[in-house]
Amino acid sequence: MSRAPRNESVRRDWGGDDSDTSILHVDMDAFFAAVELIDRPELRGLPVIVGGAHRGVVLSATYEARAAGVRSAMPMTRARALCPQAIIIPPDHHKYRDISTSVMRILGDVTPVIEPVSIDEAFLDVSGARRRVGSPSHIGELIRRRISEELGVVASVGIASTKFVAKLASSHAKPDGLLLIPRAATVPFLHSLPVGALWGVGERTEATLARSGIRTVADLAHSPPGMLNRVLGTAGGSRLLDLAWGRDPRPVQPTRHEKSIGHEQTFGTDLTDLGDMSAALLDFSHRCAARLRAADLVTSCISIKVRLADFTTLSRSHTLDAATDVAHDIYQAARRLLAGMTLPPDGVRLLGVRCEALSDAATTFVQVALDDSGPERRAAERVMDEVHARFGRAAVTAGSLVRQPTSDTGDGDIS
């Protein structure tokens, strides 16, 4: 759900020449909300928000909710104030990942040169698919039709000669559209946009530039480089100038691997009990491990994130002796990291577990310890994966997670 500034007037025909535009950016429209509507078609046409019910934030919202001013990452309380009639649905990431996998499979039918950016967007380089499938515009429409017909969700597609412009094009194509920016139209298109449309220009940079009288991409493009470098630093200035003139040499990188897998949660009430924190880490470790196993990956570095009641955010990481995809190992490391931190008595607001240094399980060697119980635990967790796949997450869990939110033992010694 892009929050980049748009200019409605640019959603027009920039010309039909797609001979030199091989980059496609496919972006799902209101993805999480759209997936929820598959199962609940009676909600179509109504304002629907996906997000945590209490202290969470808006993860996705239908265009009906957006019309009331609801935006992604907005606190839920504010979203409800703006749109009291909205139907709020708690997120089901499992479901989103399934649909995402299907979307990526459809894209994979077009070309193997796919760079997934997140669960709901990807870049494609279709220069190799042109002869076999058709022109980029044809491919864009084909993808949109297949995703809509086969999956019941909607994708918008931007087509351009660079990744950056393709992404801008898709955001201007929304909702349910396709926008082609021919190479020749790249600069006029860019120069019609506010400067906030450029990658890396957030509110602060926008304000800085505004003080120098730069409000549009055109303003920036025609600013003296020396002045930009003074305002933004040498690297920042020349990078933005390149973007403003449509210069973006980055290729679509199909081999992009997931760099890390993590799970974090803001709690309804701050956790003060070490037992509750440990239980949360164990739960997150199981979620991470299941995702590692589903992707045939192993991790050799575990990090945890702790946000205190005063919003101070701390993180710690630990490199494992041997790569793993077993929740028990991840949990042990996470728990040791937590034990090594001094936490104030007013508790923690958020906890997160992240698995880094990922590698393919099939090609990663592990020097097993003589007293290793990994294989048995791994087998048990694999069975859990299958039960979850069939009966849902609530069907089976670690024994120590079957507990009330507030522990009466309080020693937090669970494993």
Partner 1 sequence: MKFRVERDVLAEAVTWTARTLPTRPPAPVLAGVRIEAAADGALTLSTFDYEVSARSEVAAEVETPGSVLVSGRLLAEISRALPAKPVDVVLEGTRVTVTCGSSRFTLLTMPVEDYPSLPEMPALAGAVDAEEFAAAIGQVTIAAGRDETLPLLTGVKVEINGEKLTLLATDRYRLAMREMTWRPQSPTIERQALVRARTLSDVARSLTSAGTIEISLAESADIIGFEAGGRHTTSLLVDGEYPPVRRLFPEQTTTHTVTNSAALIEAAKRVALVAERNTPIRLTFTDGQVVLEAGQGDDAQASEALESVLVGEEITTAFNPQYLLDGLGALGAPFTRLSFTHPTKPAVMSGQQEGGGDSPDSADTFRYLLQPIRFAS
Window 104 to 143, contacts with partner 1 (CB under 8 A): none
Do the Cβ atoms of 199 and 166 come closer than 8 Å? no
Window 333 to 392, contacts with partner 1 (CB under 8 A): 359, 361-372, 375
* Coil vs helix vs strand at 246: coil
For the bound state, the minimum distance from the C-beta of residue 141 to partner 1, rounded and expressed in Å, comes to 39
- Please state, in angstroms and as integers, the Cα–Cα distance from residue 13 to each residue in 136, 169, 178, 180, 203, following that order: 16, 11, 10, 8, 29
Q: For this structure, is 121 an active site residue?
A: yes
For the bound state, the minimum distance from the C-beta of residue 370 to partner 1, rounded and expressed in Å, comes to 5
For the bound state, the minimum distance from the C-beta of residue 359 to partner 1, rounded and expressed in Å, comes to 8
For the bound state, the minimum distance from the C-beta of residue 289 to partner 1, rounded and expressed in Å, comes to 12
Q: Which is nearer to partner 1, 120 or 381 (CB)?
A: 381
Q: Which is nearer to partner 1, 323 or 350 (CB)?
A: 323
Q: Which is nearer to partner 1, 293 or 388 (CB)?
A: 293
- Report the distance separating Cα 28 and Cα 1, nearest Å: 8
Q: Which is nearer to partner 1, 68 or 361 (CB)?
A: 361
Do the Cβ atoms of 174 and 29 come closer than 8 Å? yes
Window 303 to 342, contacts with partner 1 (CB under 8 A): 323-325
Of 366, 376, 288, nearest in space to 331 by CA: 288
Name residue, tokens 């470098």.
229
For the bound state, the minimum distance from the C-beta of residue 255 to partner 1, rounded and expressed in Å, comes to 14
Each residue 33-62 as x (binds partner 1 by CB under 8 A) or -, in order, gives ------------------------------
- Report the distance separating Cα 64 and Cα 82, nearest Å: 12
- Please state, in angstroms and as integers, the Cα–Cα distance from residue 108 to each residue in 122, 189, 250, 391, following that order: 11, 29, 20, 29
Q: Which is nearer to partner 1, 207 or 370 (CB)?
A: 370
Pairing assessment for the beta strands 121-125 and 348-360 based on DSSP bridges: unpaired
Residue of 121, 141, 203, 386 with catalytic role: 121
Interface contacts to partner 1, rule CB under 8 A: 296, 298, 323-325, 359, 361-372, 375
User: What residues act catalytically?
Assistant: 121
